[in-house]
Amino acid sequence: MVSASRGTAEAGSGIDLRVLPRTVQQETVEKLRSAILAGIFKPGDRLVEVELCDRLGVSRPSVREAMRSLEAERLVSIIPNRGPHIPILTLQEAAEIYQVRALLEGEAAALCAERSTPADRRRMRNALGRFSKAVQSDDPEGRLASTSEFFEEILRVCGNTLIQEMLQSLHARINVLRARSMSFPGRSKLSLEEMSAILDAIETSDPAAARAAAVHHVQQAHSFAKAAYEADAK
């Protein structure tokens, strides 16, 4: 039992220690997000609330709140009278995202090459090391997580908040495309080489080389994503 004095102290501090419902809700979002990125739920699939409750072992309110969160990330679409489903990202929409990525990530890498500190570069190198291990162990979730970490560090260091905001608004869709392109045989190893080239340019403080390497990486990712789309269409 919580004593009156403890309760008063907690109330006075403005801290609410009741965390369980929020923890379940957040875990529900994370589980569904991971399943979507892993391809367990395919583009066009309808998400049935009762089935999700059974599979996740959570309540309907938790699932509904998770759907709203994922809708904000553009990973789920909720259509009136039809319910939530996984949106279909067309090849044209993907091409537009890659075009924007090439412009923004190229500039971010160039700025990062000018501004990064030894500690910044060490964090990028560590993220790249985790990506390399995930490639070797064929760990799809590890590949996505470490790739996101690598580019998030570049965005943080670049110092341009507008570039950060624009790319963060595309984050979920970028990860969907990233998962798709990396599922193509041989793509992950090439991606490691391309990301290494970006970091090499940053470590030598060469903005032009960093921009070129980042743009090349996005262009290659686009090529593999396009090949994955075409393979799915056959």
Domain residue limits, the chain: 17-85, 91-233
pLDDT for 10 equals: 45
Secondary structure (3-state) at 75: coil
pTM of the complete model: 0.75
Q: For every one of its 234 residues, what pLDDT tens digit does the chain have, with 9 covering 90 and above?
A: 444 444 544 445 555 555 455 688 888 988 888 888 777 887 788 999 999 999 999 999 999 999 998 888 888 988 888 889 888 888 899 999 999 999 999 999 999 999 999 999 999 999 999 999 999 999 988 998 899 999 999 999 999 999 999 998 888 788 888 888 887 888 999 999 999 999 999 999 999 999 999 999 999 999 998 888 887 777
Those residues with Cβ within 8 angstroms of residue 146's Cβ, 6 or more apart along the chain or in another chain:
127, 128, 130, 131, 134
Secondary structure (3-state) at 158: helix
Q: What is the CATH number of domain 17-85?
A: 1.10.10.10
pLDDT for 37 equals: 74
Q: What is the CATH number of domain 91-233?
A: 1.20.120.530
